[in-house]
Structure 1
Amino acid sequence: MDDEILVISSKLIDNQLSGGTTHIITKEEIQRYPGESLPQIISKLPGVEFKNLYGTGFGSYENIDIRGFADTAKSNTLIMLNGQKLSNIDLSFVDFLTIPINSVQRIEVIKGNSASVLYGGNATAGAVNIITDQLLSFEDNYLFSSAFGSYGQFEGFVGGTQSFDSFSITGNSNYIVSDGYRRNNGLRQKNGNLEINGSF
């Protein structure tokens, strides 16, 4: 009896070989839009829209729609973080608030059905791969920032890297608050990440 083997690639293919189009949003481009969420920044690409379900902003309950799939966008647009799927099997929304924008190095967006060949299901419209900063050295660095937006939106961010003899610890945390543009629909959320790099 032959066993079925499923192989999923995690590498972007060249535009010339792709059945779609690949866009790269760099860190410099992301920094041009302080106070905007990741879906809002991604939606600046042609053929990409974002929709906010509850009107809270900052990426909470926001959906990315590639090539006009409308209500079925979340089941046809794959969202990944460093190549790992974030899109839930129950097709619920990806919480972009858990990814601090300051920690994003670049965003890779594939538009077209080539994404389903690369990553499998839930990528018929395309795929979004959010790449965070990968530390290649043990240099100490620290970052503090804040952003303001409409409807009482505020985001505070603190992050940094502390190096030791053979390893380094990187952490970041953000606090987000928004009144929302609908009544009685405010948002309060805290997020944090911790990463250890080294040679053992």
Structure 2
Amino acid sequence: METLRHYLNLPPVCGPSLEPTPRQPDEDVIFIALDLEAWEFDHRIITEVGIATLDTRDLTSADPSDPNSFLRHVKASHFIIKNHEKHVNRKFVRGCPRMFHFGTSKKVLLHQMVDHLDAAFITARKMVLVGHDLKGDIKYLNDLNFSPTAARTVVAQLDTQKIANEMFLPSALGKLLEALEIHAENFHNAGNDAMFTMQALVLM
């Protein structure tokens, strides 16, 4: 969690209560949370991609004592893979690709999805990659022939599932959000889950 507080320009939890120091150029990062949904009968078939971003440049006036002043700057996107649109999960989890709460979903072809991911990661800015069970989402990204670290702009990775375990909080995303008093519904929509993951990160 100190990595998170460092990049958000917050004082250490266990240290003296000091005023945050001005953010240095190498600390000027974008947090990017990813969530990918795959078909329950063949996980190689990626059906949705969700992206949520929090740009630290937007936080200059944020109140460190008010997490909502950070959360209002989170932006989310939701992509539905048209090639796999018919593969909606129903047996083991309830998929809800048409229930994105934080904007308008975009339908894209499979080969176009990589272009959208490239656009999210190709930047001169440094990035902190965020996920809930991040290794699973990275595997799905690799199945799309995309590597989030290829551009070498990712300077840190934060897994909210691991952080929750370290803080003795529930590791399941839904239970974690409940413990953090975040209202959430329609999980297993990649856009929603990316946003929920970012919200959990900020509030933990």
Fold in common (TM above 0.5): no
TM-score, normalised to structure 2, is 0.25
User: More helix by proportion, 1 or 2?
Assistant: 2
Instruction: For CA contacts below 8 A with separation 6 or more, give which structure has more relative contact order.
Output: 2
Question: In terms of Rg, which structure is larger?
Answer: 1
TM-score, normalised to structure 1, is 0.25
